Structure 1
Amino acid sequence: MGKPPNLFAFNTADELAVSLRAFVIDAQNSALDRHGVFRVGVSGGSLPKVLAKALLGQVDGTNPLDFSKWEIFFADERAVPLDHDDSNYKAVKDELLDKIPTELGTPIVHPIDVKYLDDIQEMADQYEQTLVRSFAARDSVRTPMFDLLLLGCGPDGHTCSLFPGSPLLRDDSAWVLPISDSPKPPPKRITLSLPVAGHGIKIGFVATGASKKEILRQIFDTEEGHQLPCGLVNGLGQERVSWFVDYPAVEGVSFPARRGSL
């Protein structure tokens, strides 16, 4: 039995950003030591804005970010054009990519292939092939291991585009899955599968605000919550998972939160 996930709680958004930055830099440096590239999977929602605040909101010459060594993938994506307001790529581009100072380098970014907007199975297959090309031959790596996955938590406990009760949660063979009937619009999406989402070397969740306190109480304190998608990632990742939350989001949560630092 491994150790449980880490739950870090902060008083302010600025404190959370400082700690999230340190977490990302540590993951980056470990990855570059291992294999010279930093492979990151990111979600959409409010995460890109928080990530940009963490990475671009301060200068720290002792732990520099080197975006030229980053490869950015999407933990899930909506079947919409890349300039559509629902696009996770657009959110990451607008909040982070377009604001990276030139001296920090330019990451390689892997968006969906918009040729397949009307065929989400093919879109998922093509995105899986993108992972294959980056992570090794499909038959030699059972599950790609991202150096860092940065995920969000929906009010129902969903993460990526893995929703509670979805049959996709039982798929343990595919790396990327299509969704035609997402309970949250837009309905057509692709997502990393649960084994991939729970397999990162480091996995970071960001959840803030009092609206998250009930779902976080379920995820951390109840057996039913352990079966929600976020809870399942906790179970797979164990101590490789770190949650970055503010105090309103964990009000009433019994699971012990560490105060304000890694």
Structure 2
Amino acid sequence: MATGKAAQRMERESVASYEPKKNSEIRILENSDEMATELAEYISQVSEISVKERGYFAIALSGGPLVRNFVKHHTTKPWIGLNGISSGLMNERLERTMWIVPILNGHVYSINDNETVEDAATDYEFVIRQLVKIRTVGVSESNDCPKFDLILLSIDSDGHIASLFPNHPALDLKDDWVTYIIDSPDPPPERITFTLPVINSASNIAIVATGEDKAKAVYFAISEGTEGPDAPSIPARMVQPTDGKLLWFLDKASASFLEANNDGCEHPEY
């Protein structure tokens, strides 16, 4: 019987059929500790490559406790951290600045929660445009969007990522880098979020999911058998890197419908 890393490798190979794109990968981990270790190793590898090639590692993280709890990688390297892929203005500022520590002073760019949601989104986009202008953050070769070295997201039970919710008009934005919403179905109602073009322009995108309540959303986001006009609106399914790689980090519970389908079970209802 295979054990350790060999067993993990076999497990990853067993879900290869669920890869939505040729530049996508799925990793299924046994528990949260294993996921945290795997995620930290992955971030370390991407950061080392980025620093070697560009002199900087630009990472952007979404809000919420899931990503924050898993990101425990410590560094004194020239990381650039944007803590604002999505953020509710009612969140504690302290929580947002704890996502990646320690980073050199002046290298963390957070959303200003002392402004209105509209002004905060405008100012945050200006900050990112300045970082792109001086090439601290790269620029996509396919469009004028920023090209982050890594964007780290989590998926919720409704399939939303960042603060992009199912059937919301923000999903259709093409020219904005940062936008705001005032009608979030989840509290808080006012949020700021990266748009899909920015997310999809990243060199690397990682989506993290844990728990059985995410299993259906994960299935419909990943499975190739859910195309067509009757397919549910899953924002996470719209994460399709333009010229990058997508990596899913799943625990056994969140991957349960994928594994059930692999065994020949019927598609679940969403």
With the length of structure 1 as denominator, give the TM-score of the two structures.
0.79
1:107–1:18 distance in 2 versus 1, CA, 3 Å = farther
- Residue 181 of structure 1 deviates from its aligned partner by 0.9
2:49 matches 1:30: yes
Aligned AA (2:179) = L
Distance in 1, Cα, partners of 2:231 & 2:42: 26
Distance in 2, Cα, partners of 1:179 & 1:155: 19
Q: Which moved more, 1:185-194 or 1:239-248?
A: 239-248
Distance in 1, Cα, partners of 2:175 & 2:203: 19
Distance in 2, Cα, partners of 1:213 & 1:146: 28
In the TM superposition, 1:178-193 aligns within 5 A as 178-193=180-195
How many pairs does the alignment contain?
Answer: 230
Distance in 2, Cα, partners of 1:202 & 1:78: 24
Aligned AA (1:154) = D
1:113 alignment partner in structure 2: 112
1:48 alignment partner in structure 2: 68
Structure 1: give runs of 5+ residues left out of the alignment: 56-64, 81-85, 257-262
Answer whether contact 1:151 1:206 (CA < 8 A) is retained: yes
Distance in 2, Cα, partners of 1:96 & 1:16: 17
In the TM superposition, 1:1-262 aligns within 5 A as 3-45=22-64, 46-52=66-72, 55=73, 66-73=75-82, 74-80=84-90, 86-87=91-92, 89-94=93-98, 96-97=100-101, 100=102, 108-116=107-115, 118=116, 120-136=117-133, 142-221=144-223, 222-223=226-227, 227-233=233-239, 235-236=240-241, 240-253=245-258
Structure 2: give runs of 5+ residues left out of the alignment: 1-19, 263-270
Answer whether contact 1:79 1:188 (CA < 8 A) is retained: yes
Distance in 2, Cα, partners of 1:181 & 1:105: 35
Aligned AA (2:95) = A
Provide the alpha-carbon RMSD of the alignment: 2.6
Superimposed CA distance per residue, residues 162-201 of structure 1 (whole angstroms, 9 cap, x where no aligned partner): 0010111111100000111111111111100111111110
**SS of the counterpart of 2:157?**
coil
Aligned AA (2:50) = A
Answer whether contact 2:57 2:78 (CA < 8 A) is retained: yes
Answer whether contact 1:5 1:238 (CA < 8 A) is retained: no
Aligned AA (1:203) = I
1:50–1:66 distance in 2 versus 1, CA, 3 Å = closer
Aligned AA (1:37) = Y
1:179–1:114 distance in 2 versus 1, CA, 3 Å = same
Answer whether contact 1:70 1:107 (CA < 8 A) is retained: no
Overall identity of the aligned pairs, in %: 26
Superimposed CA distance per residue, residues 132-158 of structure 1 (whole angstroms, 9 cap, x where no aligned partner): 1111279x8610010100101011000
Distance in 1, Cα, partners of 2:179 & 2:255: 31
Distance in 1, Cα, partners of 2:246 & 2:134: 26
Aligned AA (2:192) = I
Answer whether contact 1:11 1:246 (CA < 8 A) is retained: yes
Distance in 2, Cα, partners of 1:225 & 1:47: 27
Distance in 1, Cα, partners of 2:216 & 2:70: 21
With the length of structure 2 as denominator, give the TM-score of the two structures.
0.77
Answer whether contact 1:3 1:239 (CA < 8 A) is retained: no
Superimposed CA distance per residue, residues 100-159 of structure 1 (whole angstroms, 9 cap, x where no aligned partner): 4xxx8557111112341x3x2221110001101111279x86100101001010110000
Answer whether contact 2:202 2:241 (CA < 8 A) is retained: no
